[in-house]
Structure 1
């Protein structure tokens, strides 16, 4: 993947999330009768703008792209004509000001609901929550799980796919010491209960995947090393390999499945290999020399063949997950809520040292995820967009001055005490909030650089 493959999905995601956030502020401000002077995508110097609408709102693109703002008529920022004072933001009731400020983060959360709703309604093919043999001495192995088990419940919550399995494990593991699984073994009609201890496991960006720490490995059926396609001009074609050939050995070493073939070829760039194949009722030997190709900046040896598609094996590995319109909506709301509360919980555990600050990600990591998800297809990119939209909404609701949540905190205090907070108090709060925000950004960039260096 080139830089453009990461940059375009990242910029696209950023533009969508910022526009949705600011549209939330804009639409509720207009609904409350407040005059909007400028709607800006980005901060700093205005690069391009156009005026439109009955109020002549300036729609602009500014130099610094990591954010945006809606500038409203406000007597605290300049003189306001007598006939327009009723439309100034500072003249609105505290309820209206609260609604206008809250509308941005809420718009991001609603976007996530809409995206999840669409994804759950259209459906997708996902790995079954079926496991291979658990890793030796792992919590899963100790709990008695065996190869072929299908995990159908986690603490009473149904599980339909491997992705849902990962999510349920994470949401239950963050606050629990044990997890109860409902497991169905191959050939069994009854669910068995298995309890997994989470003692000693860590939820840490720098550590192992939580599922792997537990010892769970997705089920993979053995796929015969039968050639389905041979690339034109490839080493395999030059050696005489054809679709339908069944590779049974390489350099006299028997193969058990397609994975063995891939493993041997990847480790043999430039090294001649002797393939023993069965073609019909005949057995032949073909000399093939793998050639190295650059993949994600790394050399990978290939011979130019693809495995034969076997629908029956795909059926054993994948399941189509699709929900009805109403069920999909309910699930979308639940997914958004659970992701939001999990984000808040992780932030809280960071503050108390229970979760590493290495989990904090900056724009470089987000761009990396954007590029990778875009390469996996539209559905994965939309899932990424929903997740980042939730993160943006939750971040902005944190009670940190400068962020929307800080203003909401001021308005909440105003509602309780019956009068606005003194300007001096708000100025100090803004300075403290900016310091906290810069500290968080510093941590995020530091983690980004660390990930780039460590790979």
Structure 2
């Protein structure tokens, strides 16, 4: 249990710090004043007590708190977004108003809001790229070794010896890709392209869904299976290392694939067709990071990359209080040519807070009872 907690705190703190540094970077690029960069703390519930801190040459206070989770960036006037121009004139001098992020150009404000998610995506790309360059990717040849009797695969016509080339249009490059693409497929039937002798064939397979124990998140989840056993074609595994450009390209493709799957799952949640056993909240993530830590550094940093992608994408959703919701506000103001009324902002914030609280409770319910 202690390993789960420590692993979760370390991983989540790094992800949040990277996210907040993205906001910090673009705030500075826009010429806004960053008053504080707080590590290991939160700006509410009195969790922003400083343990250690120092000021840099630009006047930013770099603070380390007592709570080993979270972090935030505070820009000048960040809490004044709801104020009218008259109220801002009363609170800030004309000189200080030049350093307010909300008085910057539209593209600068959007980049500021995008900075956090962008930093999360870039950190994941960096992790994947380093893995592909220094460790490489499994490219050991493999094929179908066995087709289970009366399984969807047998009914569709798959045979032992078939080499799988792609699944749902995704190129299959290693043995791990087979289960990944089958598991993340969403259609009633899965299109599998195989090579049988010298001929390529497309076969549609209608998968079965079963509940199985996921060893990483330690809960029963629904999985799609088609009834095949995959085996390597050689006794020795082959790993291919890539050059920087190819490694970055592969890393970007992986980030794009993960984002696509998350968006598909969100769409299923909204339509009521999602398998909520796949949803993980704080407890599930803590279990996942603990199990990943047991499996070694490589697994741990890989999980870090996937969770970083998830956090970055979730923050881009057009939900009030999230980065995506802030971009929506900036865009509306750009269209109407002025500030949104205070009462509308309050309603908008309440909607966002309610939605986030509901999602948190729902994720905890999934962790504990599903």
Change (3 A) 1:48 1:115: same
Distance 1:65-1:344 versus aligned 2 partners, 3 A rule: farther
Q: 1:69 Cα shift?
A: 1.5
**In structure 1, distance between residues paired with 2:325 and 2:145:** 48
Match of 1:46 among 42, 45, 49: 49
> Where do residues 62-73 of structure 1 align in structure 2 (5 Å cutoff)?
62=65, 66-73=69-76
For normalisation by structure 2, the TM-score amounts to 0.85
Give the root-mean-square deviation of aligned CA atoms.
2.6
Q: How does 1:12-411 map to 2 (within 5 A)?
A: 12-41=10-39, 42-43=41-42, 44-62=47-65, 66-74=69-77, 77=80, 79-122=91-134, 123-125=136-138, 129-171=142-184, 173-174=185-186, 176-184=187-195, 188-198=197-207, 201=209, 206-210=220-224, 213-219=225-231, 313=235, 315=236, 318-411=237-330
Counterpart of 1:399 in 2: which secondary structure?
coil
* Bigger Cα displacement from structure 2, 76-85 vs 117-126: 76-85
Contact 1:160–1:321 under 8 Å retained in 2? no
Provide the C-alpha distance between the structure 2 equivalents of 1:127 and 1:439, rounded to a whole number of angstroms. 45
Q: Deviations over 1:361-415 (max 9, x none)?
A: 1122112111222222332222211110110001111111111111111112122
Distance 1:377 1:130, change over 3 A: farther
What CA distance in whole angstroms lies between the structure 1 residues aligned with 2:299 and 2:268? 28
Distance 1:75 1:390 in 2: 26
Pick aligned residue for 2:348 from 410, 416, 429: 429
In structure 1, the residue corresponding to 2:98 is in which secondary structure? Answer: helix
Unaligned runs of 5+ in 2: 81-87, 213-218
Unaligned runs of 5+ in 1: 222-311
Alignment of 1:412-427 (within 5 A): 412-427=331-346
Q: How many residues align?
A: 349
Change (3 A) 1:417 1:341: farther
- Contact 1:40–1:59 under 8 Å retained in 2: yes
Q: Give the number of the structure whose alpha-carbon radius of gyration is greater.
A: 1
Distance between the aligned counterparts of 2:299 and 2:117, measured in 1? 23
Q: 1:85 to 1:40 in 2, by over 3 A?
A: same
Q: Which structure exhibits the higher relative contact order, with contacts defined as CA atoms closer than 8 Å and separated by 6 or more residues?
A: 2
Matched with 1:267 is none
Q: What is the distance in 1 between the residues matched to 2:296 and 2:138?
A: 12
- The verdict on how the C-alpha distance between 1:321 and 1:372 changes in structure 2, with shifts beyond 3 A counting, is farther
Render the CA deviation track for 1:152-194: whole Å, top value 9, x for unaligned.
22244321212222333345x22x3333323245xx3444433
